[in-house]
Chain A
Amino acid sequence: MADLIQLLTNGLALGSIYALTAIGFVIVYSATGVVNFAAGQFVMVGTFAGVATLVNAGWPMPVGYIGALVVMALFGALFYLIVYLPLRASPIVTVIIGTVAIGITIQNMALLTFGSWPFPVPSPFDGMMIDLGGTVISAHAIAVVIATGVLILLLWLLMHRTAIGIAMRAVAQDVKVARLMGLRVQWLLAFTWILAAVMAGIAGLMLGPMWFADVNMGDPIALKAFAATVIGGFGSLPGAIAGGFFVGLAEVLGASYVSSAYKDLIAFGVMILFLLFRPQGIFGEKIQDRG
């Protein structure tokens, strides 16, 4: 039982990171239709923004975090200008390959800048452990789960209770109508990319202390986030969250109860089953793309 609680906690912490990555991916997808294969690199850049401010520049914790998120907002804006605008009218495949290509560039630039050694990233909860009779849980992991919950709430409030959020949803539903309504569509789309980059940045800052910062960590996270997105439902925020937690738990529980060698087949196998039998996922968008 103690072991089960331990596994559940670790699975949830892992799932939180997948969920946040998936949210960044879904925000962009639902507003712009772009399937962003560089989503994992966004998270990596977020972690290294933290390395730059907290480790290299040695800024104190809150300032360093804010600095890193400002960097991420700029990164999102830059990505909007350099990648999204030129490719916005291109077919899906071109966009997929374009984001993969720029992902290669981002990863190699990070390697050139930060080198190949992984970095330890500080956390406000460094070394704090909570012992619950045999189950040892790091305070950071609990903080990650709680922070993810709070972020999801804030994101919901932003999308449903603020003018900018409602305008973003209008753009996501129908760009032409949104434009006729007098919304400044391009600004809203730029804001979408910035928001997605900041969400990825938060994921990156939270995972850094758990997993170290490593320039190659982007793609594996993105793969799991894709599985999470499909399972939860393409384009659905609650889906991204549910999917993220599912994939995290499947990974840890699968390794424990099924097979550690084949555990990743569970996430991708379930993903394929969902695509076949319930392509709209748990909460997903209306299926237009199924014959």
Chain B
Amino acid sequence: MALRLLGLVGLLVVGFALSLSVSEYALRLLNLAAIAGISVIGLNFAFGYVGLISLGHAAFMGLGAYILAILTTQAGWSPWLASVPAILGTGLCAAAIGFPLLRLKGHYLALATLGLNVSFVIVAANWIELTGGTNGIAKIPGLSIAGYALSGEQPFLWFALVILACLGFVASLIQSSRHGRAMMAVRDDETAAAMTGINVTAIKVAAFALSALYAAVAGCLFATHVNFVSPDDFGFAQSITFLSMLIVGGEGTIVGAILGATLLTFLPEWLRVLGDSYLAFFGLMMLGILIFLPTGIIGLFDRWRRRAPAPETAAAEVAQP
């Protein structure tokens, strides 16, 4: 508990220090990283803990962002109020979809969620009356706290960091709770988990819905940060990016999710100096990371510390009979 609070405070301190010392451009990227980080912590529930491969995470982020965008621009709601149905609605939607879909595993689930994401984009691009079609929705109002508008990159970053820290903290509480151990038990051996009395379907649906809730929070932040959403922002490529962030950071860990989100947000921007070939190098570097750091950045730290079993695996082993 103390360690977790320390991590939370550490994140806020580092983030706050960065927010005072870096350029506007870096601040923007930090905001993007924080938003992606929230989304990836969510994905960690589904993939990191339960092992559900989701290639549709961006669709949930998009659903949240679109509900907020529609309610604020067409019904005139405040973004705070609109974020409630945006987040809860997305979570419910994920639970409803997850219930039939999560019987699938491995690449079957991967392709089913991919299909969902593609379908989401088709609907968002063609339901013009509601979503504005491919032109998207512009002029989404930004957030303000007690009359103070979070319009600049810096105040927005402070806000995003607080949300990131809180949601990270909640995630770590869930991880070490009975439910978190049940999730990992389901990942490691479904049959065994079922035999110990864990309701496998309920755990899977819960993790999936939880991941969608986090994605929706990220979506609401995205919409209020950029003030614009369009179907392109939530394509399946974005889902693959989220999954890559989790793998690169280190699956199954919250710190890994944040590190991965940060690294993959900054990497293509750093590579811009290479000119036209920067994306070609980006692909190669990704492949290199996957080959040489199979357990992600966190795995690298663990290897440094020479501490053999990572805490999560140990926890999972305990939960198994």
Contacts and interface: CB of A to CB of B under 8 A. Distances in A.
Contacts of A98: 286-287, 290-291
Contact of B112 (A101, A112, A275, A291): A275
A255 interface: no
B53 A93 contact: yes
A269 B105 CA distance: 18
B260 to A, nearest CB: 11
Nearest to A100: B240
A265 interface: yes
Contacts of B55: 96
A111 B280 CA distance: 10
A271 interface: yes
Contacts of A223: 114, 118, 236
A172 to B, nearest CB: 16
A24 interface: no
Given A92-B106, A92-B110, A272-B115, A87 B291 contact: yes
A262 B124 CA distance: 11
Select the residue from A108, A223, A262, A276 with max chain B CB neighbours within 10 A: A108
Interface stretch (A3-11, A69-77, A226-234): A226-234
A290 B103 contact: yes
Given A98-B287, A101-B286, A271 B277 contact: no
Contacts of A92: 53, 106-107, 110
A128 interface: no
A94 B247 contact: yes
Contacts of B53: 92-93, 96
A86 B291 contact: yes
Select the residue from B107, B110, B126, B281 with max chain A CB neighbours within 10 A: B107
Contacts of A264: 118, 122
Q: How large is the interface on B (under 10, 10 to 19, 20 to 34, 35 or more residues)?
A: 35 or more
Interface string B88-129: 000000000000110111111011101110110011001000
B282 A279 contact: no
A138 B116 CA distance: 35
Interface in B270-294: 276-277, 279-284, 286-287, 290-291, 294
A104 interface: yes
B283 A105 contact: yes
A289 B276 contact: no
Nearest to A287: B108
A283 interface: no
A279 B104 contact: yes
Given A100-B240, A262-B126, A268 B283 contact: no
Interface residues of A, number: 43
Contacts, number: 134
B200 interface: yes
A261 interface: yes
Select the residue from A35, A90, A96 with max chain B CB neighbours within 10 A: A96
Interface in B26-50: 47
Interface in B104-162: 104-108, 110-112, 114-116, 118-119, 122-123, 126
A109 interface: yes
A268 B110 CA distance: 13
B105 A289 contact: yes
B232 interface: no
B72 interface: no
Interface in A107-157: 107-109, 111-112
B246 to A, nearest CB: 9
A37 B281 CA distance: 18
B108 A234 contact: yes
A103 interface: yes
B224 interface: no
Interface in A75-92: 83, 86-87, 90, 92
Nearest to A223: B118
Contacts of A96: 53, 55, 107, 110, 240, 243
A265 B107 contact: no
Contact of A290 (B105, B276, B291): B105
Nearest to A276: B100
B99 to A, nearest CB: 11
B266 to A, nearest CB: 17
Contact of B104 (A93, A104, A289): A289
Given A226-B111, A230-B111, 19 more contacts: A92-B53, A93-B110, A96-B107, A97-B240, A101-B286, A101-B287, A102-B287, A104-B282, A106-B283, A108-B280, A112-B277, A262-B122, A265-B122, A268-B115, A268-B119, A268-B122, A271-B115, A276-B101, A276-B112
Interface of A: 35, 37, 83, 86-87, 90, 92-94, 96-98, 100-109, 111-112, 223, 226-227, 230, 234, 261-262, 264-265, 268-269, 271-272, 275-276, 279, 289-291
Q: Which 7 pairs between the two chains have the least Cβ-Cβ distance? A: A105-B283, A101-B286, A104-B283, A108-B280, A268-B115, A86-B291, A108-B279
Interface of B: 47, 53, 55, 100-101, 103-108, 110-112, 114-116, 118-119, 122-123, 126, 190, 200, 236, 240, 243-244, 247, 251, 276-277, 279-284, 286-287, 290-291, 294
